Every structure is written in structure tokens, then in C-alpha cells.
Chain A
Amino acid sequence: MAGSGNAHLRSDALLRAQDLVVEFPAAGGRKVYAVSGVSLDLMEGETLGLVGESGCGKSTTGRAILQLPSPTSGSVQVAGQELTELDPDAMREVRPRLQMIYQDPISSLNPRRRVRDIIAEPLFIALENVTRRTAMATWQERIGGLLQTLLERLAIPMRIVGLAASVAFALWILSEAVEERAAEPWLGWTEVPAAIIGFPALAIALAVAAVGLVLGLTWVLLALMLPFSLMSRQFGEVSAPVGIAGVVVTTGASGFMLWRTWSSFGGWAKWVNSGGLGLLTAVLVVWLAASIANPERAGASGVATTLSAMVVLQVFYVAGLDAGVKLIVLVVSIVVDTLLLRWVLRRYRANRNAARERAEPRVREVLEYVGINPDDAMDRRPWEFSGGQAQRLSIARALVSVPQVIICDEPVSSLDVSVQAQILNLLEDLKNLMGLTLVFIAHDLAVVKNVSDRVAVMYLGKLCEVSEPDAMFDEPAHPYTEMLLAAIPQPDPEAELGSGRIDGELPSPMDPPSGCRFRTRCPHAAQRCADEEPEMREIAPGRFVACHTPLIGETAPERVEIASAGRGAS
């Protein structure tokens, strides 16, 4: 709270998160203590505001509640059901009942898909996953999750390396072709073209090889785990025969590519190229299979991209064959690919249309709730909307599966004041209409006050104060709340500015202060604050504070100008 304790929790809450701890590993074996023992609860139909400075752990708390990822320790109960103990399958069943709305509306919606499909998506996830739980599914899900994280982390380096590798590869092939035709020793003056093309290619390829060596091991690992886990991500649970067939097909295809490239290169190029192409093939095969089996999630352009990438792969492969065979293989494969593409697309469309039809009435309904005309909007794509409209779309998407709890992570922070007001009013209306239960995360106190029934103030991974908003804003009880309040710019030129001086920055969550975490910036800090962590306690009816000397009540210290707060914080 800036201490701990659960005095503020109530007995009959819809959602109850207790002693949440989230720690992330950091460089040098250190740890980021992002959330350190936060307890929150939420009555049905209530809006809980969560405020605090950037980096204090608001989003991490919100995500921990949704098990994205699960907290390091602590419990989360929704309607009596403990979420932290659910296995992935059961969690997937629960997921549609818990939704999230993000800060940046446009980038949180898939830009390539139409509004009708984006909004309907949670419905399909809800329908699709009522499956048996098996040990295998759990295992697949775990590796899939790990893989997903790995792929996300590696996305940019892989893309760069991939790009460089393909440029180098293309140049290499070109230079070889030129060289072949010249059939003379490397670097004779007639071979200038070959040298011109070859040298940069060599330079790039060498650079790639260096990175490639590092990534090589990762690739091997990925390639081994890939088929099974990617499939389980895409298909849900994979039954053993299907899984084995998938592994055979994928490993076969990537093994073949591996072998082809392996035998056509020498030295380091063998490793880099065959590793890369093998992996690429595996990914493409799985993606292709997934898009055939699960068209709602894949999207037509995904299918097309996959197929065209396969054609490119085939061309690479064909480049290593004799001239006559080359032509035949090329023609056959193009014909096969075209037929395959047609078949896939037709299946995709049929599936998609059926799915759309099923979802349409519900999608229309929620679009109308959020004040967007379904006839105008259904077939457009997210980037054709303004920020405010896009935020309405994300709200519609969150509403479509009739969630019990919605976590809104800074839903208005990136919007203009005028649009912000529209979204805040909309949330208020929807709450009255449907009895929504919301966690509303924001750093703007005025916004939080406007929407919340209860406000929790957070500082560096801990709670400071939990209270009903009007009382909290009239008379902040925690020194940090007072400081936050002082920071708000008042739209009144007469308002005093001097009293709002804020000093210091949030300390590093890798090395939080002892005792009360706010003590390095608190104007009232005393020795006790460094020695002893304050417990959350009720200092007035409905007002819970974690501070040794709260600002209200008989022990209240004399008010100190915030400006005099310790400057030493870094």
C-alpha cells in the first residue's frame, strides 16, 4: 500500500482479486516488481477506478486479473470461480465473460478485417471451445504460449534477418547464375558483373551468418516444437491422430526443404539457409492448414499470403534442379497451387458467410448500443474510423459476448477531450442499460472520478487508498492521492499553480524503497515509514488507507506544501 492488507475487501463481490503479485524477470537476474500484493474487489454493476502514474502497474494488474499472463501469485475469483487454478481449456471457456478494452483503439483492432468480423470474433471463440480437457491439450497450450511469446519477442529481429537473408539469398543465386554462365575463374575481368553482385551479397550474407549463428539454435528449437504447438494454438485441442499427421506433414515438408537447401549450399550457408527455409516451410504449412480448418480466424488475405509464399519457396527449390525438370515442376506446381488456392478460398468464403450470418443480428445489436450505424459500418475496416469511433467499436467488441466484467485500460487517454466526453457518457449509459461491471484504468483523476463508484489509487505496485470518489476528492487521505490531485491542470486561469509542484519520479520497480514505497517522495515521511510497511485499514466509514499518518482523522499531520517533498528520488 503503498502497503498491503485486505481490510477493504467485501464479502459478496462478483470479482475478487487477492494479494496479486506479478514479477517479471529482468536483465542481470534481477526482477521487476510490477505488482506486489494488490487486492481489489468489484460488486456486480460497480465501476472500480484504478489510478496512478505511468509504470505503477495498473495495466499489469488488469491483465493479471484476466490471466494475461497469470499472476506470479495471488488469487482471482469471478463469481466464486478461482481463475488462477483453471487449466487453459477451462480458462478459454471463461475468457468471453471477461473482456478488455485498450488505450489505442485503432491499433488494437485488426486493420485487415471488416468491422463485422472484428466485432463477431469473441462470439466464435465463445462457441468454439467447449472441449474436453486432456493432459495433452494443456501441454500443447503451454508450449504454444511459450512459442507465441518467443515469436513475439523475436518478431522484429527475425523479420530483419529474414529480409536480409532473402536479399542475400536472391543475390547469391543471381551471382551464381552469372558465374555459371561465365564458367571461368572467379574475379577474371569478364566476371565483373558477377563480382559486383557477388561481393555485396557476400558481405550481407556474412552479416546474416553472424546473426544466423545466434538465432540458429533458436531456430532448431522452434522447428522442433513448432508443428504441434502452433497447431494447438490455431485449432484448439488437436487429437492425437490429427496431431501426428500434422507433425508428419510439417516435418516432412520442412525436412524436404532442409535437405534440398542443405545439399545445394556449402559451409555456413548450409546452416543459415536450410535452417531458415526449413522453419519457414513449417510455419507456412501449419498456417495454411490452420487457415483451411479455421477460416473465421485466418482471413482471406492470410490464406493468399501463405500460398504465395509457398510458391516462392517452390521457386527457390526448383532453382536447384536441372533445366528440363525445372520447367515441368514449375508448371505443375503453379497449376496445383492455383487449384489449391481456389479451393481454399471457396471453402473460406462459404465458412465465413455462414459464420457471418449466424453472428449478424448480435453484431448489429451491439453496434447500435455504442451509437454506430451498423449499415454504414459493418463492411468498413478499422482505419477508416476516427479514434473515437474506433473506441466505440472496441467497446462493441467487448460487449458482444455479454461479459461479466470489462477491464478498460486507459480507454480515453489517447482521445481528444471532446471525444473523451462522448466515450465516458457512452460507458455510463451502457452501464445503466446493461448493468456492466467495469474496472476503469486511467491516470487522469478527473476522468476516474467521473465514471467510478469506487476508486483505488495505486503507487509502484501497491495500493495507497480505496474509497468512494466524492469523499476521496474532497479530502484525500493518502499523501500520494493528494499529490496526484494537485497535478491536475485546472481549466481555470485563477487556479493556483504553485501548490501543485510535484517532485521526483517513480522509483525503479526493480528496486522499490523499503517500508512505504511512497516514502521517497512523501512530504510526511518519517523513520517509521522506512522501517515498517503500512497496512490497509479503514480510517473512516468506507475509506481505506495504507499510510501510517493519513491526512484525515485524529492522527493527521499538519499539511505540508507538496513542493517541499524529497527531491532525492530518482
Chain B
Amino acid sequence: MTDTSMTGFAGADEQPLLDVADLRTTFHTAVGPLVAVDGVDWSLRPGARLGVVGESGSGKSVMSRSIMRLLPKSRVTSTGSVLFDGIDMMSLGRRELLDMWGPQLAMVFQDPLGSLNPVMKIGKQVGEGLRVHRDLSARAARAAALDLLEEVGIPEPHRRIDEYPHQLSGGMRQRIVIAIALACSPRLLIADEPTTALDVTVQAQILDLLETQRAERDMSLVLITHDLGVVAGRTDEVIVMYAGRIVERAPTATLFGNMRMPYTEALFRSIPKVTDDSHARLEIIGGQPPRMTDLPTGCKFAPRCKYAQELCVAEEPALIEAPAAADSNDGGARRRGTWRDDDLDDDDNDGGAPAGAHLYRCFYPVGTPEAAEAFERNVASGRVSEAGVVIRAS
């Protein structure tokens, strides 16, 4: 196995399925511009699984909608490049987009009821895409829909095919939404919090379903969630977003084994775990997610970060690459705005993504002596409690 096949990102040698570069989406709101996605770069190999994690409002949905070109028509601008299999999504017209949605890219949304038509029978909704894209007859589409319902694990598909969405449970509705998304065998499926509205057992079923379908169809999957637990076992690579930016990006095992970004660490620590004793004190991220129309200068996480120093407030850290795990701690990271910044490239991966690279955006990365010192200083000055909670934003 090569590096590339283990991770979601395309290497220099392979044509990525999706290549997002410097994507920036701005809403023009009454109180000024709101940059919901701010210069995001990543790419995805065919068949790979990418997790996107962040608190609500961090720009996950806007990013995926920008890629799909599903943003509202007015008061929003989206710049940068999104290449899907070499096709520039940003330049496509409505017609061409309609041809892309379904057979090329498809999306599953958080709220299953909201994405189904309440007055159309399930079979018809599932078969609709096939009729449009494959020119199937009504009969053939129905047969295909029946197969799809079976595939996504709907019990008694013959009966369900003639039912309406409100007659199904939340879990079954989400299966229908997935069936619709899978109908034209898309090459990329973006699932935006597909299980946030569901309970644990149904969540496990839906995630399993997504995984089996992905493997069977050799589809790529972008799994968006605010729960690190969801991406842990089910993705090859994870992007952590904060305030519209990528703040950490790494192969899943590396991220969980060796997280660098204080935000990722804080997010991880705030999850209650079944393995903890009952009444174990949870570590919290103090404060609120930033107001997107009024972002702090410097590191956007600084007001809530237990390591933050003066430097963090003054200057925004760039996305840099961590030294490979083998030769770690050799004096820090190479500066690397994005892997497309040719002027910064000084070695191997010229022009391509560093396969399996670990990128983060922080001056005092977790686990380094600098971070430990910074934390000590903050505790000494009373800005942060012993438990690591920010008491007053500097």
C-alpha cells in the first residue's frame, strides 16, 4: 500500500477526483460581509473518505454547498476553484450543473424530512433522478427504485415504495434520502451531518450503510459532522474547521494519535466518553464560537485557547506542515501556506498534495514544550484555570 491509498488526499501521481483550491464564500449581510469559508484547500482521491469536523457555524455546510454550487443566488459570492474530475464547477451553468448533480456528485442533508417532497410517493422520488439522467421509463425507474430501497435496507420495500415520507421513521427517511442520492451512482457523495438528527442506534446503522455503499460503488465520501467520534473509525483523512478556515488536516489515525491544534484537542476532550467514570468532569471549551461578522485579528481561536500568547493575538498563524512523525521535534514545522504555494515548496511534493501530510495552524502546537510553557504562563497570569478553561479572554 502506498501512502496515497491510505489517505484521502490525492498525491502528485494521481488525478484527484475533487480539487478545491482557495475556496472563499462571502455572504453580504446587513452588518457587513461574512466570510463563511475563507480560503480552503483540499483534494480527494477517487474512492477516498474525508471527514470534516467543526462546531456549528464553522462553515462546514457552506463549504459543501459552495462545492455543489447550491448556494443562494443573491447576496453571496464564492471564489476560488473547484475542479471535479478536471471540470471547473465554478464555471458551469444551471443546465450543466443539473447534469452533474446525481451522476457525478450528490448530497445528503441533515434534516431528512426537509429534503423529501411530502406529497410525492417514495418510489417516485427515488426513481425521479433515474428517469431524468438515464432516460428510464416509469416502469424501469420503479423497478430500479425498488432495488435501491432494498439496498439501503428498507424493510418491506414493496409496501414502502407507495408510501409517503411522513409514514416513515426518522431513520428510514434518512435511508430514503440516501437512496435518492445513490440512485444515479454518484462518484462523490457529500453527507452533511447525516445523523445529527438521529439517535445512536440509527446513527450507527446509517453510517454503516454509507460505508458499505461507498465501498460497493467505489464512491468518494465527504462526511461532515460536529462529532469527532463519528469520523474516527470511518474516514481516511480529517479536516478540522474553525471560523471558516481549515485549522488542522491529517490522516485520521495521525489526527487522533498526535493532534497538534489546540482547538482539535479541546473538541476531543469535551466529548463525554463511555469509558470515563460517571460524573467525570468534562473539559470544556470556554467562551463562544466567534461571531463571524466580527472575527478577532490574529488566531481566530485565541480568545478560547488555553495556550494563547501575545503573538497569537497579533498575527494569524499560517497552515503549516508538521514534521513527519518519525523525525518529529526537529525544531518545528516547515512553513506551508497551502500545498499549492509553489514559492514555499522546497522539496519533494512540488505541485501536488503532500500525501498524508499533517497540517495545522498554530504557533504553540499541542504536545510541544512551547505549548506547555505557554499554558504555564497563562495559568500563572490567571487567564486560564488549572483545568485549562479560559477565564478571561486576554
Contacts and interface: CB of A to CB of B under 8 A. Distances in A.
Nearest to B277: A470
A492 interface: yes
Nearest to B159: A570
A205 interface: no
Nearest to A56: B199
A444 B278 contact: no
B284 A53 contact: no
B172 A491 contact: no
A135 to B, nearest CB: 42
Contact of A452 (B171, B207, B273, B278): B278
B248 to A, nearest CB: 15
Nearest to B58: A416
Contact of B234 (A421, A444, A497): A497
A428 interface: yes
Nearest to A432: B279
B100 interface: no
B274 A502 contact: no
B288 interface: yes
Interface string B264-284: 001110111110111111111
A450 B253 contact: no
B200 A417 contact: no
Given A418-B285, A446-B274, A505-B169, A493 B233 contact: yes
B83 to A, nearest CB: 29
A505 to B, nearest CB: 6
Contacts of B292: none
Contacts of B198: 54
Given A53-B201, A54-B170, A487-B201, A449 B278 contact: yes
A353 interface: no
Contact of B274 (A55, A388, A488, A494): A488
Contacts of A54: 169-170, 198-199, 202
Interface residues of B, number: 50
Given A417-B267, A473-B274, A570-B155, A488 B200 contact: yes
B281 A425 contact: yes
Contact of B273 (A446, A453, A569): A446
Given A417-B228, A422-B284, A497-B233, A491 B271 contact: yes
A447 interface: yes
A443 interface: yes
Given A53-B199, A506-B169, A491 B278 contact: no
B228 A491 contact: yes
Nearest to A567: B155
A416 B55 contact: yes
B285 to A, nearest CB: 4
B232 A492 contact: yes
B200 A445 contact: yes
Interface in A382-438: 386-389, 416-422, 424-425, 428
A419 B288 CA distance: 8
B204 interface: yes
A389 B55 CA distance: 15
Contact of B203 (A389, A447, A487, A570): A487
A300 B49 CA distance: 54
A557 interface: no
A40 interface: no
A485 interface: yes
B352 to A, nearest CB: 25
Contacts of A445: 200, 274
B233 A417 contact: no
Interface string A464-482: 0000011001000000000
Nearest to B200: A487
A88 interface: no
Contact of B171 (A388, A484, A505): A505
A416 B284 CA distance: 12
Interface in B177-233: 198-205, 207-208, 226-230, 232-233
Contact of B233 (A418, A449, A484, A489): A489
B343 interface: no
A289 B252 CA distance: 64
B368 interface: no
B256 interface: yes
Nearest to B255: A493
A485 B201 CA distance: 9
Contacts of A490: 229, 232-233, 273-274
B332 to A, nearest CB: 26
Nearest to B235: A493
A438 to B, nearest CB: 13
A489 B204 contact: yes
A457 B92 CA distance: 52
B204 A487 contact: yes
Contacts of A492: 232-233, 256
B394 interface: no
Contact of B229 (A425, A484, A488): A488
A180 to B, nearest CB: 41
Contacts of A503: 205
Contacts of B227: 417, 489
A26 interface: no
B310 interface: no
Given A386-B288, A505-B172, A506-B169, A418 B267 contact: yes
B156 interface: yes
B201 A417 contact: no
A347 B279 CA distance: 50
A502 B55 contact: no
B77 interface: no
A561 B272 CA distance: 26
B267 A450 contact: no
Contacts of A491: 228-229, 232, 256, 268, 271, 273
16 contacts: A53-B201, A54-B169, A416-B226, A417-B271, A418-B284, A421-B272, A421-B285, A446-B274, A470-B277, A484-B200, A489-B207, A490-B229, A493-B232, A500-B204, A501-B208, A569-B155
Interface of B: 55-56, 155-156, 169-172, 198-205, 207-208, 226-230, 232-234, 252-253, 256-257, 266-268, 270-274, 276-285, 288-289
Given A424-B272, A446-B272, A495-B233, 17 more contacts: A416-B55, A416-B226, A418-B266, A418-B267, A428-B279, A449-B274, A452-B278, A453-B278, A473-B278, A483-B201, A484-B201, A490-B274, A491-B268, A491-B273, A495-B232, A502-B205, A570-B155
